[in-house]
Structure 1
Amino acid sequence: MNIRHILTAGGLAVLTLGSSAGAQVIGGDLNINGSSDDVHFFGGQMRINGEIDGDIFAISGDGEIDATVNGNLEVFGGDLELHGLVMGDVDLAGGDIEVTAEIRETINVGGGSLQISGPVHGELNAAGGSVEIGSTVGDDAHIAGGYIRLTDASSIAGKAEIIGAEVHMDGRFEGRISIEAEEVVLSGRFLDEVEILAEDVRVAAGAEFSAPLRVRGPSEPVIEAGAVVPDDSYEEEGFNFGARHWNKVDFQIDGPVRLMGSPEKFFGATFYGLSFLLGVFAVLLTPRGVGKIARTFRSRPIASMVLGFVAIPMSIVAMVMLTVLLAITIIGIPLILLVWPLYPWVMLLGFAFGGIVIGDLIFNRSHAERGLGLAMRSLSLLLVLVALFALSQVGAIGIPVAFLTWAAGLGAWMLSFGNKNQDETSQRSEPPRRDPEPEIEAEPDPA
């Protein structure tokens, strides 16, 4: 399993601990042939066949699903294969992903290399390094990637928005098409307007357009003989996707927002960066304490979650009450100026501990009693926080995942104050054992 697989699994691992399921499996490999209930899995390799009456939620290594799923399907892991039929929505994230299944609702796919050829009745959303689509899509499509190819078997009934480095489009497209890329090759049939912003555009022989083709970019489109383009227009515009035409590129930076990104992205990155630094300091300064927090979460994950959920809102109430009590006395007023600045750092450290315990849960499956080393614990924290930051760009998923991580870390931290290492306790309470000395029988006196 490579780094991108680990990032995805690490970022979403906490969801398994907070979800309720009819059939929940944590650890090991999974092999299921049919189920009358939901399937929730967090572990190694996965193989699911037969008919699943409920939903599937899984965080795994490599996985293969060849089943009829009557609910929704969410799988995050390594290399994934999906065959059969899914009646609900599909969410897939991983390395190399192959989908031949029929999808009755919406499908969202993200990974390294994507191959999607099964029919999709709803919306298609796909992003990856290499994306190949050979599906009939009944609704809109949104596709992003380095290399994108829609084969002659593809068909999109709705609108299509495509962003990529190299885009090849064959097949049939009934809705409006919007493309932004470095290089675009069109060889399919287009029934609605096509608008392209690209460095290089080529309309291959055999392409058919029933509506206008609008191209913007630093160079005019190349239309080969045999292409049917009744209405086309070109507008020169500087474009810096691949930076081939430097003399026609107009650089503009309009203030710090354009330089740093949107404010929420900038401050979000700062939040995760500070969490990482605090976590690393904690790992270096108190490795035993951090190890105790990780062991506490392993032994009491549900209690840690519940306590964290309660502690987060109650901490604000406690701070207000403490402020009132300190304000009553003159001596306590200066302490207010000390307590409130420390509060956000304490809560931020709780989030860092959440990344640590999740990283320990993922990367320390073989030697849980020994714990991770300093370097590996810091690396696992970095990978988890990077994955969480990537998920934070998707509000529907990122916010609850971050909150669950925060609750896990804060709750495990609080519980660890009352937990003592059993080995240490036993050593203090029990005196060291000594083997009984052999009894020596006195020899009879010869006299």
Structure 2
Amino acid sequence: MNIIKMRKMVMAGGLAISLLTGAATAQVIGGEVDVEGSSNDVIFLGGEMNVRGLVDGDIKGIAGVIQVDADVRGSVQLVGGEIDVSGTIGNDLDIAGGDVQSDAAVTGDVNFAGGDSQVGGTIGGMLNSAAGYLEISAQIGGDAKLAGGYIETTRSSNIAGSAEIVGGEVHLAGQIDGPVDIEGGEIHLSGTFLGDVEVTAEEVYVLDGTRVSGELQIRSPSDPVIADGTSFGSYDYEYERFNFGARDWKQVDFGPEFDFPTGVFSLFIPGAAFLLAALACMIAPSGCASVATKFREQPVVTGFLGFISFALSPIFLIMMTILLAITVVGILLIPIMWLIFWPFMLLCIGLGAISVGDMIFNREPDEKSLGLGMRLLSTFAVVAVFAALGALPVAGVLAGFFLLFIGLGAWVMSLGKRRPTAPVMGASATASAE
């Protein structure tokens, strides 16, 4: 189930990259954006986004606050701080955010990654979710794979397929038609289970009214607490020494498979990037704010400019090396230039994290800029996601380049630009496509 968490983080990073680099039929960028229906795909990047009406294509977006109450013929893919989705979705729903809620009728699969997630409505396919807090009241037509700190299925929920669940505290009160495999710290069963149920946990509580048509199999270091009024097809308990997560740790090889690139991208580079970003925020707060503003104003342009600048950087270094080699003093500067280049690339990754964090956490850029504390917190949150993605080499490299291109491009655009002393009115757009 740890793989599920990895998949969600990779999904979030991949979606963010595709939104900034992919072609779109209708792109909308602004501080606050309202879309009243569209006959094409809707792709947006903004501080606050509202989509209503009929959308004949897909919806893809990154914003601080996202609300979708629409009939969507295609898929919906969203990344944001607060996300609320309702209406109908003709294909899949993919969401990564801090506070996530869905009451939509989804024909396809649903993939959630969030801090606080609530899933209602109907789901025609599978539900895959990783969250700190997860509450499910949906009618799910396929399987469910769930991971979280706290997981609850309400009495109104129904999972037609199988369920694989990993959580610190799990409460299952609905109905699950297929086999159930649960692993966690504290497990509470009070629902109806039409297949076999296998539980491995530190503590297990089987509450009054629980019905298991198949076999209830419990593996735990402590005797399960079983209330009166429960029924099982068969029951088996076996003592097993167990600390939540320890069994998964045994499957991790900390030896040769953790090669140099993986370790670098998961630990050193994010840490160094955050340290340099923090120093930049403290030494040059107005400069960092200017970089973040440039990205907010022109996110696609800054990313593209950063890509071009990075691609041309080897040529620049070679040309500067040749020019400096002409003079005696210049020769002494050549190694310094090459040494500075790599920390500067790390700084650009940090500037990219500052810019993305400002986009997500600064929902009212027109009124004031983020303070030092909030700037550091938002940057740390973005770098933490980057570090988590670094556990997978390809995902870590992609996330690193994503932040590098943003930071380098925004820095280049901010050169020579004096930050205005008065607040700058942000973009506000209203889009309607027939």
- Same topology, TM > 0.5: yes
Equivalent in the alignment of 2:158: 155
After TM superposition, the structure 1 = structure 2 runs for residues 11-160 of structure 1, keeping only pairs within 5 Å, are 17-160=20-163
What secondary structure is seen at the aligned counterpart in 2 of 1:88? coil
Distance 1:299 1:99 in 2: 30
1:86 and 1:101 in contact (8 A); partners too = yes
Structure 1 residues 52 and 255, CA, compared in 2 at 3 Å: closer, same or farther? closer
Distance 2:215 2:251 in 1: 33
Percent identity of paired positions between Structure 1 and Structure 2: 40
User: In terms of mean alpha carbon deviation, does 179-188 or 379-388 score higher?
Assistant: 379-388
Is 1:404 the equivalent of 2:402?
yes
User: In terms of mean alpha carbon deviation, does 352-361 or 393-402 score higher?
Assistant: 393-402
Q: CA deviation at 1:177?
A: 1.4
Structure 1 residues 96 and 36, CA, compared in 2 at 3 Å: closer, same or farther? same
Q: Normalising by the residue count of structure 1, what TM-score does the alignment of the two structures yield? A: 0.73
Deviations for 1:171-224, whole angstroms, at most 9, x for unmatched residues? Answer: 332333111122222233333332211122233344333332221111122333
Structure 1 residues 394 and 38, CA, compared in 2 at 3 Å: closer, same or farther? farther
Q: CA deviation at 1:91?
A: 1.8
More strand by share: 2
Q: 2:411 aligns with which of 386, 410, 413?
A: 413
Q: CA deviation at 1:328?
A: 12
Equivalent in the alignment of 1:304: 302
Is 1:280 the equivalent of 2:258?
no
What secondary structure is seen at the aligned counterpart in 2 of 1:210? strand
Q: CA deviation at 1:277?
A: 1.1
What secondary structure is seen at the aligned counterpart in 2 of 1:211? strand
Distance 1:21 1:402 in 2: 24
Is 1:365 the equivalent of 2:365?
yes
Distance 2:101 2:107 in 1: 17
Q: 1:184 aligns with which of 184, 187, 192?
A: 187
Q: CA deviation at 1:86?
A: 0.5
Aligned length: 404
1:11 and 1:385 in contact (8 A); partners too = no
Q: Normalising by the residue count of structure 2, what TM-score does the alignment of the two structures yield? A: 0.75
By relative contact order (CA 8 Å, sep 6+), the higher-ranking structure is: 2
Calculate the aligned-residue CA RMSD, in Å.
4.3
Structure 1 residues 130 and 324, CA, compared in 2 at 3 Å: closer, same or farther? same
Deviations for 1:40-80, whole angstroms, at most 9, x for unmatched residues? Answer: 33334443332111111233344433221111112333444
Structure 1 residues 192 and 321, CA, compared in 2 at 3 Å: closer, same or farther? farther
2:265 and 2:396 in contact (8 A); partners too = no
1:13 and 1:358 in contact (8 A); partners too = no
2:177 and 2:195 in contact (8 A); partners too = yes
Equivalent in the alignment of 1:344: 342
In the alignment, structure 1 segments of 5+ residues that lack a partner are 1-8, 243-248, 424-447
After TM superposition, the structure 1 = structure 2 runs for residues 307-386 of structure 1, keeping only pairs within 5 Å, are 307-316=305-314, 340-361=338-359, 363=362, 365-366=365-366, 377-386=375-384
